[in-house]
């Protein structure tokens, strides 16, 4: 029997169910005095092994000392908004009804026990940002090119379930025709919503669309970096999107990208959420700039990745694009004009937005 629970359930099982089965995006606890500090510390210890990144437990299970009741009301409202936005993002990725679950293995596999298989990788042919905008306006596809044949080992199980739409697997290229040494990668497969056709979910076109989407973002990031450097803006950091390739292994498709090293942080999503605890003014300005620079053709949101402090560079992956010019492109996360509104309703222009002279959207609140 477990102390504190008449049914003998452990706190680790209960917290895990809250996170994985009921979809609780944020557990917030307000300390009215110091009598509950030990309890929350034990909660965090109990759920720690359910997270790939140990720092993520601090983001999921948040606790603060509250000294005035006015603070409590403010914190509840703020936490509720964060939770609702995260839930909306999950629904926006088409998984509101749940997905077929897969067993997780958060540690890297013993590579010597896995067999290398033959794979072929394709990548986007990148245009400059100006051509990219015209391509989207004209509804032209981004061209893909064959760039590598390889031998690759892929883990049998995904290492995380944090992604809203895809399962990530560790992978290791042991031989290809473009490099002489092995390299670590992450390959991703779509999650299959309950009741959906597996073949439809894993259609080649869906993987090609993701390669195109991230290629477009990479092209825009280069132009943003150039413009920000030209304006000599103080505090602006460089942005880069990891190159995503379409990997074909037999009849199976994956999206493949280099493994990002460091603390992975979600800075925003595609329905207006902003991570205020890890606020990145450069990334908020980049989303605003993408809408302004493209003259409303599209906007890049859902920014996440790692910060390379040595090179003052954000390495990003898995973005989303809203496009009023082509609402049928860029998958289920494209909300078009409504997506623009969701971003600007929570966006507060910062010094970088002002330094780039970005125009305001009608949905922006006057501050």
SS (H, E, C) 75-122: HHHHHHHHHHHHHHHHHHCCCCCCECCCCCCCCCCCHHHCCCEEEEEE
CA distance 40 to 177: 52
Pairing type for strands 61-65 and 27-31 reads parallel
Full set of structural domains in the chain with CATH: 11-92 (no CATH), 111-355 (3.20.200.10)
**What are the φ/ψ torsions at residue 27 (nearest 5 degrees)?**
-105, 115
Tell me: the pLDDT tens digits for 23-73?
676 787 888 778 888 888 888 888 887 776 666 777 778 887 877 666 666
Residues 6+ apart with CB under 8 A from 328: none
Alpha carbon separation from 265 to 59, 166, 232, 279 (Å, rounded): 10, 17, 27, 10
| Residue whose token pair is 């300390």 | 31
Q: Is residue 341 helix, strand or coil? A: helix
Give the per-residue pLDDT at 58: 77
Give the per-residue pLDDT at 94: 44
CA distance 323 to 340: 8
State which residues of the chain have pLDDT below 70: 1-9, 20-23, 25, 52-55, 68-97, 177-181, 365-367
CA distance 227 to 349: 17
Give the per-residue pLDDT at 305: 94
Is the whole model's pTM more than 0.75, yes or no?
no
Which segments of the chain does DSSP mark as H helices, in order?
11-20, 37-47, 56-60, 69-92, 129-137, 198-201, 204-230, 281-293, 336-346, 351-355
């Amino acid at each position: 029997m477990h102390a504190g629970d008449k049914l003998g359930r452990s706190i680790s099982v209960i917290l895990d169910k809250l996170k994985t089965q009921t979809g609780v995006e944020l557990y917030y606890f307000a300390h009215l005095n110091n009598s509950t500090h030990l309890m929350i510390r034990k909660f965090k210890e109990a759920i720690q092994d359910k997270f790939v990144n140990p720092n993520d437990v601090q983001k999921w299970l948040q606790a603060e000392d509250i000294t005035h009741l006015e603070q409590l009301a403010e914190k509840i409202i703020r936490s509720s908004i964060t939770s609702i936005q995260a839930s909306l993002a999950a629904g926006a990725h088409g998984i509101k009804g749940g997905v077929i679950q897969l067993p997780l293995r958060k540690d890297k596999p013993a590579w010597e026990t896995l067999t290398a298989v033959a794979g072929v990788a394709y990548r986007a042919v990148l245009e400059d940002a100006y051509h990219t905008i015209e391509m989207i306006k004209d509804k032209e596809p981004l061209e893909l090119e064959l760039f590598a044949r390889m031998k690759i080992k892929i883990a049998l199980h995904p290492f995380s379930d944090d992604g809203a739409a895809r399962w990530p697997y560790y992978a290791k290229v042991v031989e290809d025709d473009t490099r002489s040494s092995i390299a670590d990668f992450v390959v991703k497969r779509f999650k299959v919503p309950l009741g959906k056709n597996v073949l439809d979910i894993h259609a080649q076109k869906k993987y090609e669309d993701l390669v195109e989407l991230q290629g477009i973002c990479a092209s825009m990031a280069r132009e943003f970096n150039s413009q920000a450097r030209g304006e000599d803006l103080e505090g602006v950091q460089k942005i880069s999107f990891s190159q995503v390739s379409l990997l074909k292994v037999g009849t199976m498709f994956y999206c493949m990208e280099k493994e990002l090293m460091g603390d992975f942080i979600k800075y925003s999503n595609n329905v207006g959420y902003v991570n205020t605890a890890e606020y990145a003014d450069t990334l908020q300005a980049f989303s605003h700039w993408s809408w302004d620079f493209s003259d409303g053709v599209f906007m890049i949101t859902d920014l996440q990745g790692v910060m390379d402090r040595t090179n003052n560079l954000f390495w990003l992956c898995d973005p989303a694009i809203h496009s009023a010019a082509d609402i049928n492109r860029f998958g289920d996360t494209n909300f078009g004009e409504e997506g623009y509104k969701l971003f600007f309703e929570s966006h507060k222009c910062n010094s970088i937005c002002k330094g780039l002279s970005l125009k305001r959207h009608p949905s922006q609140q006057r501050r």
